[in-house]
């Protein structure tokens, strides 16, 4: 049984001019446990919306998302929040670290809504991403590469089954991007988590064996392209 099964997923937004715009229209998508898949797509193709739907941040208009045997659309919002906290790790392009929290507190907060805050485990995770000496630093005191590593540690904090990475190297230089990506992939492998990454960067995509063009999965992207 795959970790993630998606069928007939549809999400439509109302544009400022009042027209309905379908952003995601995925007939079928599956992700095996521990798999590492990269979705290739241009900006505006609906990749982030797709990840938000998988994470339960957005509610689809129709369709099914079954994550780890639980059907997302059948869950109410608090249950989706809980599932997200315990099952999914999310890495954002802009890191989305809380600026008023230290590195350690950012990771602890990631745990708080899931398995529960565990200071020792948080410290271990930060050491693992090479930030054992920056536990009490605030994000503004770190380089962008270091901030991304904190975000990786936070995403892994609850030992998730699925890590969603949205353009995770978009804000990094080549060297940091390469190192960061290697770290994410290695950490997911070691923790037995599946990785679903979206990117439009050829350099990033080149490091994956399993690359799927998002336009092939998302019918809405194809229609957009035709328009």
Partner 1 sequence: MTIWRIVFKSLRQHALSTVVTALCIALAGGLLMSVWSVKEQSQATFTGVNAGFDAVLGARGSKLQLVLNAIFHLESSPGNLSWSDFLDVRNNPSVELAVPLAVGDNYRGYRLVGTTVDLFNRAEYAKGKHFTVIPPGRLFEPTLREAVAGSFAARKLGLKPGDTFHPFHGLIFDEKNQHSETYVVVGILEPSNTPADRVLWIPLAGIQKMTGHDPHAATDVSAVLVKLKEGSAIAGFQMDMMYNKQGNRLTFAWPIGTVMAELFDKLGWFDRVLGLVAYLVALVATASILAGIYNSMNERRREIAILRALGARRMTVFSAILLEAAAIAAVGMAMGFICYGIILVIVAGLIRAQTGVVLDPLKFNPVLLWAPGMLVTLGGLAGLVPAVKAYRTDVAEHLAPTS
Q: Which residues bind partner 1 (CB under 8 A)?
A: 41, 43-45, 47-49, 52, 55, 57-58, 77-78, 81-82, 84-86, 90, 92-94, 96-101, 105, 109-110, 112-114, 117, 154, 166-167, 198, 200
Q: How far is the CB of 212 from partner 1 (least distance, A)?
A: 16
Q: How far is the CB of 123 from partner 1 (least distance, A)?
A: 17
- Alpha carbons 74 and 66: distance in angstroms, whole number: 9
DSSP 8-state code for residue 197: E
Nearer to partner 1, 172 or 189 (CB): 172
Helix (H, G, I), strand (E, B) or coil at 65: strand
Nearer to partner 1, 39 or 195 (CB): 39
- Alpha carbons 118 and 67: distance in angstroms, whole number: 25
148: CB partners within 8 A, 6+ apart: 91, 95, 168, 169, 171, 172, 176, 180
Nearer to partner 1, 41 or 145 (CB): 41
Q: How far is the CB of 110 from partner 1 (least distance, A)?
A: 5
Nearer to partner 1, 84 or 161 (CB): 84
Q: How far apart are the first and last CA of the chain?
A: 37
| Structure tokens, 27 | 């007939």
Q: How far is the CB of 47 from partner 1 (least distance, A)?
A: 5
Q: How far is the CB of 174 from partner 1 (least distance, A)?
A: 20
Q: Which long-range contacts (CB under 8 A, 24 or more apart) does 188-192 make?
A: 188/34, 188/36, 188/156, 188/163, 189/34, 189/36, 191/156, 191/159, 191/160, 192/33, 192/34, 192/161
């Amino acid at each position: 049984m795959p970790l993630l099964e998606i069928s007939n997923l549809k999400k439509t937004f109302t544009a400022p001019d009042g027209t309905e715009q379908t952003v995601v229209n995925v007939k079928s998508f599956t992700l095996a446990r521990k798999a590492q898949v990269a979705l290739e797509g241009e900006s505006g193709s609906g990749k982030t919306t797709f990840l938000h739907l998988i994470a339960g941040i957005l509610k689809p208009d129709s369709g099914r998302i079954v994550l780890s045997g639980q059907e997302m659309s059948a869950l109410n919002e608090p249950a989706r929040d809980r599932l997200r906290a315990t099952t999914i790790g999310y890495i954002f392009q802009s890191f989305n670290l809380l600026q008023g929290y230290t590195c350690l507190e950012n990771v602890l907060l990631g745990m708080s809504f899931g398995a529960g805050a565990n200071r020792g485990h948080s410290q271990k995770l930060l050491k693992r991403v090479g930030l054992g000496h920056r536990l009490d630093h605030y994000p503004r005191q770190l380089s962008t590469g270091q901030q991304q590593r904190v975000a990786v540690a936070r995403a892994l904090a609850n030992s998730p089954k699925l890590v969603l990475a949205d353009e995770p190297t978009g804000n990094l230089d080549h060297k940091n991007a390469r190192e960061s990506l290697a770290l994410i992939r290695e950490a997911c492998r070691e923790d037995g988590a599946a990785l679903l990454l979206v990117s439009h960067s050829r350099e990033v995509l080149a490091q994956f064996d399993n690359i799927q063009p998002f336009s092939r999965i998302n019918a809405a992207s194809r229609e957009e392209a035709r328009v």
